[in-house]
Amino acid sequence: MTIGPNGKVQELEARIVGALRHRVGKNERAAKPHDWYNAAVLALRDDIIDNWFASTSRAHEAGAKRVYYLSLEFLIGRLLRDALSNLGVTREMEQALREHGLDLAALEELEPDAALGNGGLGRLAACFMESLASLDIPAFGYGIRYINGMFRQRIDEGWQVELPETWLAHGNPWEFERRESSYLVGFGGEVTSDAGKIRWTPGEKIEATAVDTPVVGWQGKRVNTLRLWTANAMDPIQLDAFNAGDHAGALAGQVRADSLVRVLYPADSTPAGQELRLRQEFFFSSASIQDIVRRHVQYYGDIRTLPDKAAIQLNDTHPSVAVAELMRLLKDEHGLDFDEAWDITRATIGYTNHTLLPEALESWPLPLFERLLPRHMQIVYAINAKVLREARKAGLDDAAISAISLIDEHGERRVRMANLAFVGAHSVNGVAALHTDLMKQTVFANLHQLYPDRINNKTNGVTPRRWLHQSNPRLTSLIREGIGSGFMAEAEQLASLSKFAGDAAFGERVDEIKRANKVDLSNHLRELTGIRLDPDALFDVQIKRIHEYKRQLLNLIETVALYDQIRSHPERDWVPRVKIFGGKAAPTYHNAKLIIKLANDIAKRINCDPSVGELLKVVFVPNYNVSLAERIIPAADLSEQISTAGMEASGTGNMKFAFNGALTIGTLDGANIEIMDRVGRENIVIFGMTAEEVAAQRADGYNPRAVIEGSRELAQAVNSIANGVFSPDEPDRYKGLMDAHYSSDWFMVAADFDAYAAAQREVDGRWRDRAAWRKSAIMNIANVGWFSSDRTIGEYAREIWGVL
């Protein structure tokens, strides 16, 4: 049976009750809400599984090329609403549950938020998976099934405290373990050669087992697979040791295997130097490559045709070692010679870069790499020799050759994972136009010189199904009324909304919807934080990982300056504002944690100051995650995208806000530039230095002290924070953090401050002209359809993968 949009509620209801009784093992009387949630998922899952089989057979029969997306992060969030909505059975499920006195929205809240990622890179992977299925492209996502994903953030007295997230505690009805898809992954040991045949005998082997989650595309068209690896010891228990009384020792192998899939590394703390991170990277890359090669050989017999049937995309450098692993399998297991293996590897692999920050480019100490992966080390050397010979032949000088080398010879020798991915791929892409240009000019300048056709741009996108349709049903129905439903599959149809830009009645409805979303959010935030918010105030939002380059500090310092201004000039016509912050700091990133404390200290002081009253409120939302983003973004008026120009590769939150009618205040960085190009300069508030100006200032010897001393507002705000106005219990708490702005100010907070403050007053001016603001909001929605991840995936599919 298939439940389509007109499917019978009774049938679904019967299936839910059947699942509750026979699969969950409870009757209606004994069932707890969580049992009903499980039963609802199981009932829905049956249809998904049927479509899943059908999708797989279709691809198989057509001999279709498959896309393999290798990513150490998938920030998928909750799946129930997504699956219901893409299958078009939300109403039916609501009614079926109502028969039992249950509320779908309440059950949805019981689903844990699957947070197998840090931020934008992981969420992009999740949007891409949804778009691949929606565009009917056969694809697998490959990653790790972390037992504890991203940590849960608690705020204690304003400080971040990290707690383990136990998202699997109640089981996971979405996943299927595939014991038959298991592979051995080796580590360490030795490499021997016997009559020219190379043999790697690992010192340790761990079994990787696939756990599959279905990914449902728009209208259930296709169901693809997210395949996450879990780890098992080959001998889960050593009975002889156990019987001899060494109970812990007998289980040590399984503990060691578990540790591989236990935690998600916080990507934006100090480079994870830990051996465990490299082990995780190899574990999932090796299992994935083995799975891809096995499937190909099983279907097509001949490994040489791999590039015709498989496109492997590396999401950042975390899976770079896949280049060496594919080479190893082709050479050592399939007997190809080096050159042929190299051609096949490059034709199959593509690499996406997501950051230019030099400290974020992964590299591994050579002795560690060699000890853990001795055979791969040999292969890396062989690849390096080939590439450097090509470079020499092309006439590159010593400096260029040393920059291209896969081995960094400065100081302690290291293996450069970005260079390995670059040379092992036929395509290397950036994630926004500016970022791609900067890749060519900076980190990859010499590799670009050697391979000038390799770097290309694929500006990021987000799925409008999750980020508009599911998270903002009110706005979605209004848009539907105005232009029909086609925009769900073709987001660029949103362009026809521009005919309503000057329509006062339509504008008012957009406004009413925004207000209703703000009321909902205010209620939720009151429950979470106890703070009451005025839904008629301007909701100004900065939600993202806490990082100095994203400049939450610029926003906080300006908030303090505004607080001072309101108190000094209470007679002025201030626009009431609610400043909403949310985000996690990497556990070892001291300054980021201090920024969270500062946000909370500022909130505490301002929120109870009667002299500003309702004019200014500050909220730090604890435990920011995908589900919170889905509530906050539809209620935002203003989206803060204020990174130091040249440092944010793309940003994707910026796109989600614009889809929901928020105006952006932002720098000329990442995708902001392309958003400006599309929504129009008059519908966005741009301020600050360009990436070129930032680079020039840094080269010329930027003097932040002079800048601060030249700006009264800035100096006052910085000094009041530094002097303990917001931390009377520990007056020096922010002294170091503020002093750094005088001495180095690497992120150029001071240099951009006056422009930012002026831009905020421009926002106030625009807000007062309600009709103009509504028009801008509509123009944002109408013009950001291009930022659908369907468009992005379409470009990858045609220009990199050769599918579609």
Give kind and range of the element (H or E) at residue 327: helix 321-328
- Binding string, 589-628, against ligand 26V, x = CB under 6 A? ----------------------------------------
Residue 434 C-beta: closest distance to ligand 26V, Å: 11
Give dist(CA 490, CA 791) in Å, integer: 9
- Binding string, 110-129, against ligand 26V, x = CB under 6 A? ---------xxx--x-----
Name the one range near ligand 26V by CB under 6 A: 58-66, 350-358, 365-373, 764-772.
Answer: 350-358
Residue 403 C-beta: closest distance to ligand 26V, Å: 20
669 binds ligand 26V (CB under 6 A): no
Q: Are 343 and 383 in contact (CB under 8 A)?
A: no
Catalytic site residue 656? yes
Q: Are 756 and 554 in contact (CB under 8 A)?
A: yes
Q: Are 126 and 462 in contact (CB under 8 A)?
A: no
Contact with ligand 26V (CB under 6 A): which of 42, 649, 655, 663? 649
- Please name which of 114, 261, 230, 122 lies closest in space to residue 174, comparing C-alpha atoms: 114
Name the one range near ligand 26V by CB under 6 A: 151-159, 356-364, 398-406, 594-602.
Answer: 356-364
Q: Which of 550, 584, 593, 774 is catalytic?
A: 550
CA angle, 202 as apex, 198 and 204 as ends, to 5°? 170
431 binds ligand 26V (CB under 6 A): yes
Neighbours of 690 (CB within 10 A): 15
Residue 363 C-beta: closest distance to ligand 26V, Å: 12
Which DSSP symbol is given to 644?
A: P
Nearer residue to ligand 26V within complex by CB, 173 or 350: 350
651 binds ligand 26V (CB under 6 A): yes
Nearer residue to ligand 26V within complex by CB, 727 or 788: 788
Tokens of 634: 């539809």
Residue corresponding to tokens 């100095």: 548
319 binds ligand 26V (CB under 6 A): no
Residue 461 C-beta: closest distance to ligand 26V, Å: 10
Burial class (CB in 10 A: 0-12, 13-18, 19+), 133: buried
652 binds ligand 26V (CB under 6 A): yes
Nearer residue to ligand 26V within complex by CB, 550 or 579: 550
Give dist(CA 465, CA 334) in Å, integer: 43
355 binds ligand 26V (CB under 6 A): yes
670 binds ligand 26V (CB under 6 A): yes
Q: Which of 209, 652, 664, 792 is catalytic?
A: 652
Catalytic site residue 652? yes
Catalytic site residue 544? yes
588 binds ligand 26V (CB under 6 A): no
First to last CA, the chain: 30
Residues within window 445-464 making contact with ligand 26V, judged by CB under 6 A: 460
Q: Which of 152, 416, 656, 678 is catalytic?
A: 656
Catalytic site residue 354? yes
Nearer residue to ligand 26V within complex by CB, 104 or 546: 546
354 binds ligand 26V (CB under 6 A): yes
Name the one range near ligand 26V by CB under 6 A: 1-9, 171-179, 200-208, 349-357.
Answer: 349-357
Q: Which of 469, 544, 584, 774 is catalytic?
A: 544
Q: Are 201 and 193 in contact (CB under 8 A)?
A: no
Tokens of 633: 């973004």
Give dist(CA 525, CA 529) in Å, integer: 6
Nearer residue to ligand 26V within complex by CB, 114 or 356: 356
Count interface residues toward ligand 26V (CB under 6 A): 21
Give long-range contacts, CB 8 A cutoff, 24+ apart: 799-802: 799/427, 799/456, 799/458, 800/311, 800/313, 800/350, 800/427, 800/429, 800/456, 800/458, 801/65, 801/67, 801/311, 801/313, 801/350, 802/65, 802/311
Q: Are 369 and 451 in contact (CB under 8 A)?
A: no
Residue 159 C-beta: closest distance to ligand 26V, Å: 21
Contact with ligand 26V (CB under 6 A): which of 232, 559, 650, 780? 650
Listing DSSP states for 390-412 in one string gives HHHHTT--HHHHHHH-SEE-SSS
What is the per-residue burial (b if ≥16 Cβ within 10 Å, else e) of 719-728? ebbbebbbbe
Nearer residue to ligand 26V within complex by CB, 446 or 792: 792
Could you tell me where the DSSP H helices lie in 179-269?
Answer: 239-243, 247-250, 252-260
Give long-range contacts, CB 8 A cutoff, 24+ apart: 188-191: 188/371, 188/372, 188/374, 189/374, 190/374, 191/374, 191/375, 191/378
Nearer residue to ligand 26V within complex by CB, 360 or 445: 360
CA angle, 325 as apex, 319 and 327 as ends, to 5°? 125
Listing DSSP states for 562-606 in one string gives HHHHHHH-TTS-PPPEEEEEE----TT-HHHHHHHHHHHHHHHHH
Tokens of 673: 């530039």
Residue 651 C-beta: closest distance to ligand 26V, Å: 5
Nearer residue to ligand 26V within complex by CB, 217 or 651: 651
Residue 272 C-beta: closest distance to ligand 26V, Å: 8
Residue 650 C-beta: closest distance to ligand 26V, Å: 4
Nearer residue to ligand 26V within complex by CB, 548 or 745: 548
Q: Are 373 and 187 in contact (CB under 8 A)?
A: yes
357 binds ligand 26V (CB under 6 A): yes
Contact with ligand 26V (CB under 6 A): which of 180, 194, 339, 359? 359
Residue 414 C-beta: closest distance to ligand 26V, Å: 15
Residues within window 243-272 making contact with ligand 26V, judged by CB under 6 A: 267-268, 271
Give dist(CA 364, CA 278) in Å, integer: 8
Residue 593 C-beta: closest distance to ligand 26V, Å: 14
Contact with ligand 26V (CB under 6 A): which of 92, 130, 212, 316? 316
Residue 623 C-beta: closest distance to ligand 26V, Å: 19
CA dihedral 525, 531, 534, 538 (to 10 degrees): -70
Residues within window 15-74 making contact with ligand 26V, judged by CB under 6 A: none
What is the per-residue burial (b if ≥16 Cβ within 10 Å, else e) of 146-176? bbbbbbbbebeebebebeebebeeeebbbbe
Nearer residue to ligand 26V within complex by CB, 345 or 652: 652
Q: Mapped to the 3 state alphabet, what secondary structure does 28-88 carry?
A: CCCCCHHHHHHHHHHHHHHHHHHHHHHHHHHHHHHCCCEEEEECCCEEEECCHHHHHHHHC
Nearer residue to ligand 26V within complex by CB, 186 or 461: 461
Residue 304 C-beta: closest distance to ligand 26V, Å: 33
Nearer residue to ligand 26V within complex by CB, 121 or 684: 121
Nearer residue to ligand 26V within complex by CB, 254 or 641: 641
Name the one range near ligand 26V by CB under 6 A: 131-139, 323-331, 355-363, 384-392.
Answer: 355-363
Name the one range near ligand 26V by CB under 6 A: 203-211, 251-259, 615-623, 642-650.
Answer: 642-650
Q: Are 147 and 262 in contact (CB under 8 A)?
A: yes
Sheet architecture: strand order including 638-641: 616-621, 577-582, 538-543, 638-641, 663-666, 685-686
Name the one range near ligand 26V by CB under 6 A: 330-338, 342-350, 645-653, 708-716.
Answer: 645-653
Residue 427 C-beta: closest distance to ligand 26V, Å: 16
Q: Tell me which residues touch ligand 26V (CB under 6 A).
A: 119-121, 124, 267-268, 271, 316, 354-355, 357, 359-360, 431, 460, 648-652, 670
Catalytic residues: 354, 544-545, 550, 652, 656
